[in-house]
Amino acid sequence: MASLVEELLNVLDEETSKYDALYDLSTKKRDCIVHRDLAELEKTAGVENDLVGDLKNLEKKRVRILRDMSVVLGRDNETLTVTEIIVKLEKQPKEQEALTQARDRLVKAATNMQFMNDQNAVLLSQAIEMVDFDLTLFKSMRQAPETANYGRNAISTGDILPSGGFDAKQ
């Protein structure tokens, strides 16, 4: 059981360091969004995808370790959590404290990452709104206003003035 606890500690520490690196990349990504640096944003997204892949592998490893621990403890492997293991280690205060600190660091890193992701999502949403506004503005600049011509049914014909403005020819 002690080796499993040590292995779990190592995985939690690795996950925390990956989340911290991901947080740094998200900060860089935020700056790229603000400064509209698409080339750097693309590079950052590629590195970010690699880190996310590493995090998925670490998560699988953590789940495997928890499954092994559930066998040792005689518990259901679907419901065993790190917090429950911390409670089970009450007779081993050193390991219990180390595991508690590792869990708390990981939770803090994941919370910070979630906050940064939410911030970046808002920034991207605002950037998309701005692009949409710019496109609408450019379209309206190229389109002349409709004339007030009405057909037989008293409905606007939708005629558009020529692009040169008013037509002086009659």
What would the pLDDT profile of 29-43 be if each residue is shown by its tens digit? 999 888 888 899 899
Let me know if domain 2-142 sits in CATH 1.10.10: no
What would the pLDDT profile of 99-147 be if each residue is shown by its tens digit? 999 999 999 999 999 999 999 999 989 989 998 998 888 777 666 555 6
Q: What's the confidence (pLDDT) of residue 142?
A: 66
The residue ranges of every structural domain in the chain are 2-142
Q: What's the confidence (pLDDT) of residue 138?
A: 79
pLDDT at 23 over 70: yes
Q: How far is CA 166 from CA 33, 93, 169, in A?
A: 42, 87, 9
- The H-or-E segment that residue 121 falls in is helix 93-142
Question: Amino acid letter at 35?
Answer: H
Least confident of 7-16, 20-29, 78-87, 99-108: 78-87
pLDDT at 75 over 60: yes
